[in-house]
Amino acid sequence: MRTRSGSLYRRGGGGGETAMVGQKRKRSSLPPQYATAGDCCGGGGGRRKRLAGGGPDYLDELPDDLVLAVLSKLAASASSPSDLLSVHLTCKRLNGLGRHDMVFAKASPASLAVKAASWSEPVQRFLKLCADAGNLEACYILGMIRFYCLGNRSGGAALLARAAVGGHAAALYSLAVIQFNGSGGAKSDRDLRAGAALCARAAALGHVDALRELGHCLQDGYGVRRDPAEGRRFLVAANARELTLALAAAALPEAEPHPANLFMADWWASRGVQATAKKPGLEAPAAATGDSDGGGELRLCSHVRCGRRETRRHEFRRCSVCGAANYCSRACQALDWKRAHKAQCVPMDRWLLAAGEAQ
């Protein structure tokens, strides 16, 4: 007679008592609860291992579509890139299924938030796989990095356009900034009407910077018909939505910037590029910063949480009072004025007077 545990019993003679024969299966040195994922799913030499107690391999019996659904849920809720990496390091099967387009398409924004200090070819390849799978956030982040940091204007703009077509609000606003400034081309390439149209589309999706930019455009008649009352309405809506988002994130008084902007700001900071302009007459030569276009220094947007850099000399507008700050957009100018520049802005005539006294 065989019991559940597999032990054998035999009947003794005469007394009718049973004696257990010591025929037991060999067990692992570790208890079943300490079995690792590698022992369950795959082992060395390409041979599957059994669970440490002789039980069945339940993960191996699951169909691929069910495992893909679980991995997609994990990717959508991942809080860092290491969460996805740990899945690939578990076993062969999860490593293979984790490379499916369904998983890359569902990767969360937090799992795509790469740091400038850890930028490498494998990181770029990972973002490219996510973008090819249709992940709009990956298209936007990789597009911004290629356009502003790596100098690949056409490739970056194509990725931004792909994200914008999918309804990504930040990508729509970034394309509007590119159109307003003529980034990646000459000054004559600026298209104010196209920039205002993209900005209006992003504002309709609730993008705060687009709301603020569109409000200033309506007040100044920049790319659209001038309408000060409507412009004020958009500015009030931008402030209200910004406050709502800040309260929801408990991050008063300023919300956390987008991972793409953080990447660009850290990228240029690690290369010694300054975010503020020098005083008139004291500009450093282009060789001092190591990168130039058109024979002059390329400057960053003075809003420290933006990270955008000029693609040609004098692309960004300067503060009309002091001339020391450069801004890629009116939205960045309004944010930086509230954040820091209001206390730092000094009229240019005081600089000239101080320079004359020094001489």
Residue indicated by tokens 């740091």: 115
In a domain, 191, yes or no: no
In a domain, 224, yes or no: no
Average pLDDT, the chain: 79
Total domain count, the chain: 1
pLDDT above 70 for 251 = no
Q: How far apart are the first and last CA of the chain?
A: 109
Instruction: Return the SS3 of 308.
Output: coil
In a domain, 319, yes or no: yes
Q: What per-residue confidence (pLDDT) applies to 61?
A: 82
Q: What is the pLDDT of residues 135-147, one digit of tens each?
A: 999 999 999 999 9
Q: What is the pLDDT of residues 318-354, one digit of tens each?
A: 888 888 889 999 889 888 888 888 888 877 555 556 5
| 19, β-bridge pairs | 10
In a domain, 106, yes or no: no
In a domain, 289, yes or no: no
Q: Are 50 and 43 in contact (CB under 8 A)?
A: no
Q: What is the pLDDT of residues 173-228, one digit of tens each?
A: 999 999 999 999 999 999 999 999 999 999 999 999 999 999 999 999 999 999 99
Of 247 and 224, more confident: 224
Nearest partner of 65 among 103, 108, 95, judged by Cα: 103
In a domain, 135, yes or no: no
In a domain, 49, yes or no: no
In a domain, 331, yes or no: yes
| Structural domain range at position 343 | 260-272+299-357
Q: What is the pLDDT of residues 27-43, one digit of tens each?
A: 444 444 444 444 444 44
Q: What per-residue confidence (pLDDT) applies to 164?
A: 96
Least confident of 71-85, 210-224, 267-281: 267-281
Q: Are 246 and 254 in contact (CB under 8 A)?
A: yes
